[in-house]
Amino acid sequence: MVNPYAFPRCEHLTKRAEYLEVYDQGNKWVGKTFILYVVRDEGTERKLGIAVTRKVGNAVVRNRLKRFLREIYRHHRPRMGTGFRLVLVARPYAAQADFAQCEQAVSRLFEQGGVLSA
């Protein structure tokens, strides 16, 4: 049985072209700490990309935020539908946020983007 909280490699956006396609074709929701891009692509698997630039902070801060975002995605994954390609982009304010603040911000963006099912 597959762990519903896993984040398998097949759900990662891995190529630059995939990110650019989501940026160009996706809908965008902006929060204080994160930006969410969503492309609805019915009939495909759900995929997530995470972008944390050097503007956010040093390597320690960037890696911590990426761990937070992967964990938040894993917890929301069972409530998500398929056919989404998502990119979460961290903004500089995210460096000051703890896990609970990140989870609240990302959850709000997921709901605004219509990614979560009831």
Cα distances (angstroms) measured from residue 41 to each of 29, 33, 52, 86: 18, 26, 24, 11
pTM of this structure:
0.89
Confidence of residue 118 (pLDDT cuts 50, 70, 90): low
Burial class (CB in 10 A: 0-12, 13-18, 19+), 112: middle
Domains in the chain, please, with CATH? 11-112 (3.30.230.10)
Identity at 1, one-letter amino acid code: M
Identity at 55, one-letter amino acid code: K
pLDDT computed for residue 117 by the predictor: 75
pLDDT computed for residue 105 by the predictor: 95
CA-to-CA distance for 97 and 93, rounded, in angstroms? 7
Q: Quick: pLDDT tens for 11-56.
A: 889 899 999 999 999 999 999 999 999 999 887 788 999 999 999 9
Q: pLDDT higher for 86 or 117? A: 86
CA-to-CA distance for 65 and 89, rounded, in angstroms? 10
